[in-house]
Amino acid sequence: MTGAHEGAATIGERITEAIAIKVAFTIHAFGLSIDISDTVITTWVVMAILIGFSIIVTRRLKMIPAGVQVFVEFFIGFADSFTTDYMGHHGKKYAPFIGTIVLFLVTANLLPLLTPIGGFGFEPFFTIKPLTRDINVTAAFAIITMTVVVFSNFRYHGPIGFLKTLIKPLPMMLPFNLLEYIVKPLSLTLRLFGNILAAFIIMQLIEIIVPVGLPPIMALYFDLFDGLIQAVVFSFLSTVYIAEAIE
Amino acid sequence: MLSFGVTFFITIINISILYFVLKRLLWKPMKKFMETRAAKVREELDGAATARGVAEELKRRYETLLAEAEREAEALVKEAEDRGKAEYKAIVARAEADSVEIRHRAEERAEFEVRRAHDELSSEVAGLAMAAASRVAGRSLGSADDLSEAEAFIRGLQVNRG
């Protein structure tokens, strides 16, 4: 094998290693062995950050907001007005759900930026990889969103009304309308998963090929911008789907 | 990476838990706080609007009262000025009358004094004339008749001379 082939194999292996979902530990309970992956651990970290943040922020609220309170009030007000714009007066009920999705995805997608920089033989003592590179996570989000969509449809139209929506505008549209309930979660899952995974792979490639100088610059787009935009896109589409269901 | 597994179900449970926890710990307290503050601000704005209305009413009344007071003050000043002018005229007229009377009295008194001085002078001159005439005549001319004649003679001289 030539040096070039060895190098290519090494890059491929390193990337495969980087994107692999590893089992952190296994829980044995009720006769079951439950593998806890590193993405679940990251999910718990994100949850802990958000819950801790919520407790700290709401502890001392000031009448004249300052600091983080300004951001939180802006975010909650924006989520309220955004959902109300799309869903009408029902929108405020869905603001916490959409807000939770946004906060989780933004935090999860930006968390890898906290990974210490390695290189020159120095290995960072911990690494945080984007958890949405795991299709289980994005699929879970998509299924939760579609569950909310279906329940909202049932809630505001009733069972008969829900069935009627399947044959709108014409009965011949029934297969396409049914297909929507498969296509929508699939597109939500694959868009988020594909974008984040692709950005992660590209960043890994850049870090391998040009380890100095370029990675921080490219991270601005592939980690920061892409992470934010995908969180926004997912939340926006979730809002649109729910709005369609309850209109 | 592409295999579905237990992570899918754990994530659904995790996100559901996170949704309920964030709704309770972040959304509800923040919304409650923001709504309370909005209500308070609305209440204070309403109070401020009411207070402003009251203040404007008070200002309007104050300005009306001030205008009335200014009008009354002007009337009082004008009245005082008129009264002062009238008083001044009266005082001046009285002073003029008094001065005329005083001057008149002084003139009368002066005339009286002049007349009395004339009379006294005439008596003295008559006495002196009588004494001179007694010495010339060699007899005493001191009776009351002689003196009266002498005085009448002197007065006659004065009348002729005057």
Q: pLDDT tens-digit profile of A89-120?
A: 888 899 999 999 999 999 998 888 887 766 66
**Do the chains contact at A140 and B16, CB–CB below 8 Å?**
no
Among the partner residues A57, A76, A136, nearest to B11 by beta-carbon distance: A136
Would an 8 Å CB–CB cutoff place B38 in contact with chain A? no
**pLDDT (tens digit per residue) in A153-197:** 999 889 898 888 888 888 888 999 899 999 999 999 999 999 999
d(CA A157, CA A41): 39
* CB-CB neighbors (< 8 A) of B44 in chain A: none
**Closest chain B C-alpha to A169 CA, distance in angstroms:** 33
**pLDDT (tens digit per residue) in A51-90:** 999 999 999 888 888 888 999 999 999 999 999 999 988 8
pLDDT at A4: 46
* CB-CB neighbors (< 8 A) of A135 in chain B: 1-2, 4
User: Residue with structure tokens 């916490």?
Assistant: A96
Tokens of A121: 């033989």
**Closest chain B C-alpha to A47 CA, distance in angstroms:** 6
Among the partner residues A19, A58, A72, nearest to B1 by beta-carbon distance: A19
Q: Note whether A226 and A133 are within 8 A (CB).
A: no
Q: Note whether A21 and A134 are within 8 A (CB).
A: yes
In a domain, A22, yes or no: no
Residue of B nearest to A44 (CA): B14
* CB-CB neighbors (< 8 A) of B26 in chain A: 50, 54, 57-58, 72, 76
In a domain, A136, yes or no: yes
pLDDT at A49: 95
Q: What count of Cα atoms within 13 Å lies in the side-chain half-sphere of residue B35? A: 7
**Do the chains contact at B11 and A103, CB–CB below 8 Å?**
no
**pLDDT (tens digit per residue) in B145-157:** 777 877 777 777 7
**Closest chain A C-alpha to B52 CA, distance in angstroms:** 24
In a domain, A28, yes or no: no
ipTM for the whole complex: 0.89
Among the partner residues A76, A77, A100, nearest to B18 by beta-carbon distance: A100
User: What's the domain count of chain A?
Assistant: 1
Per-residue CA distances from A89 to A98, A115, A208, B30, B139 (Å)? 15, 42, 51, 19, 156
Among the partner residues A61, A100, A135, nearest to B19 by beta-carbon distance: A100
* CB-CB neighbors (< 8 A) of B10 in chain A: 34, 36, 40, 43
Would an 8 Å CB–CB cutoff place B41 in contact with chain A? no
pLDDT at B29: 93
- The answer for residues whose C-beta is within 8 angstroms of residue A86's C-beta and 6 or more apart is A239, A240, A243
Would an 8 Å CB–CB cutoff place A18 in contact with chain B? no
Residue A213 domain boundaries: 82-246
In a domain, A153, yes or no: yes
**Do the chains contact at B34 and A77, CB–CB below 8 Å?**
yes
**pLDDT (tens digit per residue) in B24-35:** 999 999 999 999
**A residues 48-107 closer than 8 Å to B (CB):** 50-51, 54-55, 57-58, 61, 63, 72-73, 76-77, 95-97, 99-100, 103-104
> What's the pLDDT band for A2 if we cut at 50, 70, 90?
very low
The number of residues making up chain B comes to 162
d(CA A207, CA A216): 9
**Do the chains contact at B25 and A58, CB–CB below 8 Å?**
yes
**Do the chains contact at A63 and B37, CB–CB below 8 Å?**
yes
Phi, psi angles (nearest 5°) of residue A61: -85, 135
Per-residue CA distances from A231 to A16, A120, A191, A237, B86 (Å)? 25, 33, 11, 10, 96
**Mean pLDDT calculated for residue range B113-127:** 87
**Mean pLDDT calculated for residue range B93-120:** 93
Q: Where do runs of H (alpha helix) occur along A119-225?
A: 135-166, 174-209, 214-219
pTM score above 0.95: no
In a domain, A178, yes or no: yes
